[in-house]
A and B are shown apart, each in its own frame.
Chain A
Amino acid sequence: MSTPPTGSNPARITSEVVAKVAKLASLQLSEAELELMTSQLSGMLDHFADIDKLNLSNVAPLAQPFPLKNVFREDVVVAGVDRDEVLAAAPAAQEGRFRVPPSSGLGEQ
């Protein structure tokens, strides 16, 4: 990623980038929304740029804001949910499974 431009009123993110992220997130934004999001995200990046100006060489990177680590569950089975109840809430079901429209397969990893 390139370094954002500095100086007054920097364009930290372009509307093209916002449009791409929206597409990846399956969001449909109008032109007005796109403009609004671009300016709001730019403002957030301004804030990060302010943080970047601080000397943080003695601060360890923080993975989570919580003062917690190693939260575990024992490997013990607990009853889940009833299949028929869940399938009844789905738009369509067949043979004990969720029935869904065909996929393009593009999302498959």
Chain B
Amino acid sequence: MSNASSAPQHSTALPNGWEMVVGLEVHVELDTKTKLFSASPNRFGDEPNTNIDPVTLGLPGALPVLNKHAVELAIRLGLALNCTVQPSTFHRKNYFYQDMPKAYQISQYDQPINIDGFMMLPGDVRIGIERAHLEEDTGKSTHIGGTSGRIHGSDYSLVDFNRAGVPLVEIVSRPDIRNSDQARQYVAELRSILLAVGASDAKMEEGSMRCDVNVSVRKPGEPFGTRCEIKNVNSIRAVGKAIDYEARRQIDVLESGGTIRQETRHWDDSEGRTHTLRTKEDADDYRYFLEPDLVLLDPDQAWIESIRASLPMLPAARRAQLATLTGANKESESVYVIVERGQDEYVSAVAQAGGDAARALVYVQQAFAEEGSTPKVAASDIATLTQMERDAKITATQAKTILSEMVANGGGDPVAIAAAKGFEALDTSAVEAMVDAAIAQQADAWSKFCAGEEKAMGALVGAIMKASQGKADGKVVTAILQARRTQ
């Protein structure tokens, strides 16, 4: 998974003082065994129409019955997003489309299960969560004929209802996002939370996590501008690109005297641009009404509290804990990467075994990218390696070599590997002698270095490393050179 997505980056500023206002609607498929209202399997990748039943197909007389586990996962997610869980109802959202045989989608409307949450982003940016409600997914259409596999111009469509009725939670943010970095951070953090609480596998490439992006622009302090909704944004990288493209498109329209129409646009990732999908005049009139076949969902407080008590530590808290342990910044890339890989407990185990936590963080980030949350190398051996480096028994370069060997072999005793490779640190007096020899040989570099030309130190260090056959510790050499200069 792209670690870079969570690390802070910088989007370019918009021209002429424009500001973008962004809200995200993210749909996630819940990780249940069955559908939201029927007992057919919720499973990706099966043969078409093999996970269907009368409820899925909307056959006459078929009645929906709510999946308790889906409700529990929705509450877990809501609590993890700091939402209030409230009594809720289901509505029919009526529209005609081939992938929805009932001609309505069962969703939540004015009484959603989770409301009023928030998420914190780097820099203490707070993004409000308006709601996180339950609804059913639709089937999947494949458009055949025409030129592009798109709806328009196709000859006919083939429909697979395996996905129809799969439980979804739609998480609607408040329009609190002000640039594409924050949007990417929001999606990455939401994905981490989904994985941490086990609500969804959150695979954007398989469609189990899908983003719709609402973008408008304004001058700061002015009311919100007219917004466009962008569909088909299928990766964290695409979220950032689509937002930046769309904001600039709207600014171009406004600055050339035009107006923004409220419409739905389609992100074309290969072209890097958005297209009009449809304008929203009265297409949004879904004639919602209460689903008469379902009753009130009113989770009792004891159930909600037992779910709250079963929540794992969330990514933000784990990053804070790892930062405290290692002395790193909680918003640093290494802290994000290690928690995203689930290796923070491993770093903690290294520290508990007497290792240096800060060095362990660096080793694990550099060498354990392929290792998952339970690396094969024993934490106690990594602890020993950090001690050897800290005590200057080996150099940082030698430590890296030993670490690579340990990872390649799935473990090993760093002391034995160091001995086998002939890594033994030189004692300080030997290094001092080499420093003095280098000063004598490289008189020119030495005088430049003494005159304050820091670059000249490179030649001196190089000569010393050569004389020591790489066994001298670079940090020790540098320290001795600095000390000699001030003597």
Task: List A residues at the B interface (Cβ < 8 Å).
Answer: 20-21, 24-26, 63-64, 66, 68-78, 80-81, 83, 86-87, 94-109
- Encode B272-304 as 1/0 by CB contact (under 8 A) with A: 000001100011010100101011111100000
Q: A25-B287, A73-B39 are in contact. Are A100 and B159 (CB under 8 A)?
A: yes
Task: List B residues at the A interface (Cβ < 8 Å).
Answer: 32-34, 38-41, 47-54, 56-57, 65-71, 89, 93-98, 105, 111, 138, 141-143, 145, 151-152, 154-161, 277-278, 282-283, 285, 287, 290, 292, 294-299
> Which 10 A-B pairs rank lowest in CB-CB distance, beginning with the nearest?
A80-B53, A75-B69, A78-B39, A72-B68, A107-B97, A97-B158, A105-B151, A69-B296, A96-B48, A73-B65
Determine if A66 and B156 form an interchain contact, defined as CB atoms under 8 angstroms apart: no
Residue in contact with B41 in the complex, picked from A20, A68, A77, CB distance below 8 Å: A77
Enumerate chain A residues within 8 angstroms of B70, measured Cβ to Cβ.
75
Determine if B49 and A96 form an interchain contact, defined as CB atoms under 8 angstroms apart: yes
Determine if A68 and B57 form an interchain contact, defined as CB atoms under 8 angstroms apart: no
The residue in chain A whose Cβ has the minimal distance to the Cβ of B159 is A98
Determine if B50 and A83 form an interchain contact, defined as CB atoms under 8 angstroms apart: yes
Determine if B154 and A102 form an interchain contact, defined as CB atoms under 8 angstroms apart: yes
Determine if A94 and B41 form an interchain contact, defined as CB atoms under 8 angstroms apart: no
Enumerate chain A residues within 8 angstroms of B277, measured Cβ to Cβ.
105
CA distance A87 to B158 in the complex (A): 12
CA distance A63 to B294 in the complex (A): 10
Enumerate chain B residues within 8 angstroms of A97, measured Cβ to Cβ.
48-49, 142, 158-160
CA distance A94 to B157 in the complex (A): 10
Determine if B296 and A24 form an interchain contact, defined as CB atoms under 8 angstroms apart: no
Closest approach, in angstroms, between the C-beta of A93 and any C-beta of chain B? 9
The residue in chain A whose Cβ has the minimal distance to the Cβ of B146 is A102
Enumerate chain B residues within 8 angstroms of A77, measured Cβ to Cβ.
33-34, 39-41
Determine if A99 and B295 form an interchain contact, defined as CB atoms under 8 angstroms apart: no
Interface of A is mostly: loop
Enumerate chain A residues within 8 angstroms of B287, measured Cβ to Cβ.
21, 24-25
Residue from A20, A94, A102 with most neighbouring chain B CB atoms (10 Å): A102
Residue in contact with A72 in the complex, picked from B48, B52, B71, B156, CB distance below 8 Å: B71
Residue in contact with B40 in the complex, picked from A25, A80, A96, CB distance below 8 Å: A80
CA distance A101 to B159 in the complex (A): 11
Determine if A75 and B40 form an interchain contact, defined as CB atoms under 8 angstroms apart: no
The residue in chain B whose Cβ has the minimal distance to the Cβ of A100 is B98
CA distance A66 to B298 in the complex (A): 14
Given contacts A64-B296, A71-B295, A74-B68, list 13 more A-B pairs with CB under 8 A.
A25-B287, A63-B111, A66-B295, A73-B65, A73-B68, A75-B32, A75-B34, A77-B33, A99-B157, A99-B158, A105-B151, A105-B277, A106-B283
Determine if B159 and A106 form an interchain contact, defined as CB atoms under 8 angstroms apart: no
Determine if A86 and B65 form an interchain contact, defined as CB atoms under 8 angstroms apart: no
Enumerate chain B residues within 8 angstroms of A94, measured Cβ to Cβ.
158
The residue in chain B whose Cβ has the minimal distance to the Cβ of A74 is B68
Enumerate chain A residues within 8 angstroms of B33, measured Cβ to Cβ.
75-77
Determine if B158 and A102 form an interchain contact, defined as CB atoms under 8 angstroms apart: no
CA distance A25 to B283 in the complex (A): 12
Residue in contact with B278 in the complex, picked from A69, A73, A100, A105, CB distance below 8 Å: A105
Q: A63-B296, A75-B33, A81-B57 are in contact. Are A106 and B52 (CB under 8 A)?
A: no
Residue in contact with B67 in the complex, picked from A25, A73, A99, CB distance below 8 Å: A73
CA distance A105 to B247 in the complex (A): 26
